[in-house]
Chains A and B, each alone.
Chain A
Amino acid sequence: MILEILLRLVLWLLLAPLLPGIINKVKAWVAGRRGPPVLQLYYDLARLWRKSAVLSTLASPAFVAGPAVAWVALAGAALLMPLGPAGGAVSFRGDVLLLVYLFAVARFCTAWAALETGSAFEGMGAAREVSYAVLAEVALITAVLSLSVQTGSVTLVTMLAPATGAGAVLLAGGLFAVLLAENCRVPFDDPNTHLELTMIHEVMVLDHSGPPFAVILHGASLKLMLFAVLLSQAVLPVAELTPAAATIVLAGAVLAVTVGVGLVESLLARFAFRRVPLLLTTAFLLCLFALLLAWKGGAA
């Protein structure tokens, strides 16, 4: 039991940094460049881990503790997330609420650590991140609610029994937009930009260095993978397949989501700030209509 949990955690932690590499490869491929190797983030993490951290004289210990707590919260979320027929490593009634709260804790700690530096830029970035998260969280909770209404359960393992038809399309659209917003991908934020006026997530982590920065980067990739797995399982009936087929389907779906993110990133420009709430409201409405479909379908 303990061994299985550990094994699964190691699997999550090892595979997660692959996804940003795939996204960058897709972007490079669309632009006709060769691009960085797929394993680039692993090299970056190893390099950052060997470096020493630069600490501001203003910062309290929370500057280092924040990223650590955020990373632990995300690793905990990875343990809750079921993987097809294998179920979740840890599972109990109402664990989906804990999942949502773990995401919130991770965000709070990153924003807190950003504020610890005492820099005006970090404060600005934290404010932006949190104000977008308010809207994205509503959409995420509505999506969770629609899954819950559809199956009449609040346990992740049994909840992820996908709808068919229009409901699944709406839910997929809404969750994909939430994935892009929560992971600071392109229509909402540009992960490559280093202009203070336009970036959101990157501002918050600007003053982090060394191992804390490595932890932040790894946590971000873990979050991306969590959302990709959640999206695939909310749409595809992975839990009903045999273990071998489920592994292939799940891996294929996560790969498809990642390539989709890369394509969106190559083909779209970042939206202006005042347009972002509109997009997040659209995501919320998609999830809301999926919820209504699940509700009405259940009553009829």
Chain B
Amino acid sequence: MNTTVNLLIGLAMGLNLLALASSRLPSVIRTVAVQGVALGVMPLLIEEHLDWMVVLVALATVVVKGFIIPALLRRAMRTANIDREVEPFIGFVPSLLLGAGGTIAGVAGARLLPLLPEHAGTLLVAGALASIFTGFVLLIGRVKAISQVCGYLILENGIYLFGLLLIRSTPLLVESGILLDLTVGVFVIGIIVDRIQRAFDSLDTRKLTVLRE
């Protein structure tokens, strides 16, 4: 049980680094989608006895993160008609090294925390910290709005992973609320991306610093 969970979290950490190293927007989106699916099935593995709430949360997470959000992002890319290059502020090699450093720091930091005995053997907290850090690097280090959205999604995956520690005590309403927020957020960003593209002829967020009447 624990080894499968750890393997999935290891996969998610690898996908973090892959997202940092990809130079094309579609591959970043695909990476985030695969990570969403990998983390979405986690509740099924962590809980010993399945009830309808856990299954529902897992199913909703997989569908929303693995299929709906990537579809929205691809649609936004297509309608805004932007080219697929990522254009980093922080180069690929430095961001990859930063991400690896963050992952190692996450693993080391998680071992220092006073965890419950049933969580001590898993990489849950380490994976959460690493994903949050990767999300920050993507948010800070990329120029285009869509890759920043991907950074935000990875950040959210990290928070979700942290929330898995408490899956018994969080009500279904909170989980579904988060998923709904995320979907609406990405939906709105899809529209904004189109607007930015029309107003500025590019998705470069550096151009959004000047405020005009």
- Check B1 for interface membership: any CB of A closer than 8 A: no
Closest beta carbon of chain B to A138's beta carbon, Å: 12
Secondary structure call for the A interface: helix
Asked whether A285 and B17 contact (CB < 8 A) given A278-B92, A278-B93, A292-B107, the answer is: yes
Q: Tell me which of B7, B23, B100, B104 has the highest count of chain A C-beta atoms within 10 A of its own C-beta.
A: B100
**Residues in A whose Cβ lies below 8 Å from that of B21:** 278, 282
Q: Which residues of A are interface residues toward B (Cβ below 8 A)?
A: 166, 275, 277-278, 281-282, 285, 288-289, 292, 296
Closest beta carbon of chain A to B211's beta carbon, Å: 36
CA distance A275 to B88 in the complex (A): 14
**Residues in B whose Cβ lies below 8 Å from that of A288:** 100
Fill in one digit per residue for B1-32: 1 if any A CB lies within 8 Å of its CB, else 0: 00000010010000001000101000000000
Q: Per a CB cutoff under 8 Å, which of A281, A289, A292, A296 touches B97?
A: A281
**Residues in A whose Cβ lies below 8 Å from that of B23:** 275
CA distance A292 to B108 in the complex (A): 11
Closest beta carbon of chain A to B18's beta carbon, Å: 9
Q: Is the CB of A166 within 8 A of B10?
A: yes
- Check B96 for interface membership: any CB of A closer than 8 A: yes
**Residues in A whose Cβ lies below 8 Å from that of B97:** 281, 285
CA distance A285 to B104 in the complex (A): 11
Q: Is the CB of B7 within 8 A of A166?
A: yes
Q: How many interface residues does B have (CB within 8 Å)?
A: 12
Q: Which residues of B are interface residues toward A (Cβ below 8 A)?
A: 7, 10, 17, 21, 23, 92-93, 96-97, 100, 104, 107
The residue in chain A whose Cβ has the minimal distance to the Cβ of B6 is A166
CA distance A281 to B100 in the complex (A): 10
**Residues in A whose Cβ lies below 8 Å from that of B93:** 277-278, 281
The residue in chain B whose Cβ has the minimal distance to the Cβ of A279 is B21
**Residues in A whose Cβ lies below 8 Å from that of B7:** 166
Closest beta carbon of chain A to B92's beta carbon, Å: 5
CA distance A282 to B21 in the complex (A): 9
Closest beta carbon of chain B to A105's beta carbon, Å: 28
Closest beta carbon of chain B to A295's beta carbon, Å: 11
**Residues in B whose Cβ lies below 8 Å from that of A166:** 7, 10
Asked whether A285 and B107 contact (CB < 8 A) given A166-B10, A278-B21, the answer is: no
Closest beta carbon of chain B to A174's beta carbon, Å: 13
The residue in chain A whose Cβ has the minimal distance to the Cβ of B100 is A285
6 closest Cβ pairs, A-B complex:
A278-B92, A285-B100, A281-B93, A278-B93, A281-B96, A277-B93
**Residues in A whose Cβ lies below 8 Å from that of B104:** 292
The residue in chain A whose Cβ has the minimal distance to the Cβ of B21 is A278
Closest beta carbon of chain B to A284's beta carbon, Å: 9
CA distance A166 to B123 in the complex (A): 14
Closest beta carbon of chain B to A170's beta carbon, Å: 9
The residue in chain B whose Cβ has the minimal distance to the Cβ of A280 is B93
The residue in chain B whose Cβ has the minimal distance to the Cβ of A288 is B100
Closest beta carbon of chain A to B131's beta carbon, Å: 16
The residue in chain B whose Cβ has the minimal distance to the Cβ of A285 is B100
Closest beta carbon of chain A to B11's beta carbon, Å: 10
Asked whether A285 and B10 contact (CB < 8 A) given A278-B21, A292-B104, A292-B107, the answer is: no
Closest beta carbon of chain A to B150's beta carbon, Å: 18
The residue in chain B whose Cβ has the minimal distance to the Cβ of A296 is B107
Closest beta carbon of chain B to A184's beta carbon, Å: 21
The residue in chain A whose Cβ has the minimal distance to the Cβ of B18 is A282
Closest beta carbon of chain A to B125's beta carbon, Å: 15
Q: Is the CB of B107 within 8 A of A278?
A: no
**Residues in A whose Cβ lies below 8 Å from that of B17:** 282, 285
